[in-house]
Amino acid sequence: MIERKKYLDKLISRKKNGLVKVITGIRRCGKSYLLFNIYKDYLKSIGVEEDCIICLALDDDENIRYRNPLELGKYIRSVTSDESKEYYVFLDEIQKVVTIQNPYVEGVEDKISFVDVVLGLMKRENIDVYVSGSNSKMLSSDILTEFRGRGDEIRVNPLSFAEFYNAFEGDKRDAWQEYYTYGGLPLVLAKKGHEEKAKYLSTLFDTIYLSDIMDRNSLAHEKNLLDDILNLISSSIGSLTNANKIANTFKSERQISVSHATISKYLDYLIDSFLIYSASRYDVKGRKYIGSPYKYYFSDVGLRNARLNFRQQEENHIMENIIYNELCIRDFNVDVGIVEYCYKDAEKKSKRAYLEIDFIANKGSKKYYVQSALTVADEEKREQEIRSLKRVGDSFKKIVVVKDNIIPWHDDDGILYIGIEQFLLDENAMDM
């Protein structure tokens, strides 16, 4: 069993807190296993009886009846009827529950959804509710409003490198090569050899993720466009882009005319499914968000690589994606940093330029500036990587993460240099 202590601890700390625990994340990242196995085993270890843990997987064809919210509510109440017992209710893939017209109301529109069921269950003091879902539509502002502030999200990610390495049979360098190639979906560890792993990821991409996105958004006749957008995003992770730029690429390189509004909508579909993340740009000195363009990263680099048939294995871009994901896993809010500076050119004319910081990671009062670099082996390359960091002008921690397995060190500007493996395996390393 892969230990997912970070998420187990979050569930334990939120147990019986009066809120519905909403576990989100991309499909096949381990949400169901976390609830139905890891957390269930924990509850049993502290004395909760088996029949007081109600597990219902709504993506299972045996449970399709309960995709009707009225049937779902009726069933849960029937198995939690003993008021002398404390019940824990796990509803997996809750987005499968459809919204229906209230059959008891005629003449006006009165919809019933899973939100109504959950709010009804939460009125029972002896029921603790946990729901999981694979798209963010279930956490839209409208639904959060309907939850009346009683929703508590726990985002589950594919395996971090630390989780992956703990379950991997081999040394750190081999683990890193496997991880940046095949990613952190838990079942990848059970596959043998490149062919088996590649086939699993490619099949998963087409039959699960793409099918879900197309079905949910009625894109049966738009698969080619979705494929094209995915291919562009996959090929340019870590590069600044937006809907307008993608539309121009289609027009100039493929002679395809697609509106930027359509492309923007499709990008939102990919983000809603947790397949990709978008990172906004932040002006460090101006202390404001700049807006478009954005950077896009895959929630799992193995899926990104499989999408490209493992043809574009640029370790620098993949490493940047992994660092972004790791910072998100550590519960940081992550932006792309921009530092503006002025200088005079050879003709003594004032010029303005912008330097990029790969990531600004914020959590509470903590802030870190993080730069991803394959190497800083020579002085020219090192100076190139830290130009933006040296112009920030504040005292928050500045870090350069390199591919090489190095002993961490600080330069005269206080910038920390650390190898990727130590950065990913030791959460305290950022504070060296």
pLDDT at 348: 83
Buried-exposed string 67-100: b where 16+ CB fall within 10 A, e elsewhere: bbbeebbebbeeebeeeeeebbbbbbbbbbbeee
pLDDT at 342: 82
Distance CA 416, CA 9 (A): 30
pLDDT at 266: 94
pLDDT at 138: 65
pLDDT at 323 exceeding the cut of 80: yes
pLDDT at 61 exceeding the cut of 60: yes
Do residues 266 and 296 touch, judged by C-beta distance below 8 A?
Answer: no
Distances in Å between the alpha carbon of 386 and those of 358, 390, 417, 430, 431? 11, 6, 11, 17, 18
pLDDT at 155: 92
Question: What mean pLDDT comes out for the span 296-300?
Answer: 97
* Digit-coded pLDDT (tens) for 242-285: 999 999 998 888 788 899 999 999 999 999 899 999 999 999 98
In this prediction, what percent of the chain has a pLDDT beyond 90?
Answer: 76
Q: Which residues, other chains included, contact 71 with Cβ-Cβ below 8 Å and sequence gap of 6+? A: 65
By three-state DSSP, how is residue 119 classified?
A: helix
Of 118, 121, 99, which is closest to residue 110 (Cα–Cα)? 99
Structure tokens at 227: 């494929």
pLDDT at 425: 96
In this prediction, what percent of the chain has a pLDDT beyond 70?
Answer: 97
CB-count burial class (<10 Å; 0-12, 13-18, 19+) for 429: middle
**261: DSSP letter:** H
Strands (E), 274-364: 276-279, 281-283, 288-289, 294-298, 333-344, 350-363
Give the pLDDT band of residue 143 (cuts 50, 70, 90).
Answer: low
For the CA atoms of 409, 412, 413, 419, what is the dihedral angle to 10 degrees? -20
Question: What mean pLDDT comes out for the span 376-385?
Answer: 91
By three-state DSSP, how is residue 397 classified?
A: strand
pLDDT at 139 exceeding the cut of 80: no
Least confident of 16-25, 52-61, 215-224, 378-387: 215-224
Give the pLDDT band of residue 144 (cuts 50, 70, 90).
Answer: low
Buried-exposed string 12-31: b where 16+ CB fall within 10 A, e elsewhere: eebeeeebbbbbbbbbbbbb
pLDDT at 295 exceeding the cut of 90: yes
pLDDT at 141 exceeding the cut of 60: no
pLDDT at 145: 62
Residue 250 sits at φ, ψ, to 5 deg, of -60, -40
Residue 409 sits at φ, ψ, to 5 deg, of -150, 160
Q: Which residues, other chains included, contact 302 with Cβ-Cβ below 8 Å and sequence gap of 6+? A: 158, 181, 182, 183, 184, 185, 188, 197, 201
* Digit-coded pLDDT (tens) for 358-376: 999 999 999 999 999 999 9
Structure tokens at 116: 């109504």
pLDDT at 81 exceeding the cut of 90: yes
- The DSSP H or E segment spanning 231 is helix 223-235
5-155: CATH topology: Rossmann fold (3.40.50)
Q: Sign (positive/negative) of CA torsion 79, 80, 86, 91? A: positive
Do residues 63 and 55 touch, judged by C-beta distance below 8 A?
Answer: no
pLDDT at 140 exceeding the cut of 60: no
pLDDT at 148: 66
Domain borders along the chain are 5-155, 159-432
pLDDT at 162 exceeding the cut of 70: yes
pLDDT at 134: 80
Distance CA 125, CA 83 (A): 9
Mean pLDDT of the chain: 92
pLDDT at 107 exceeding the cut of 60: yes
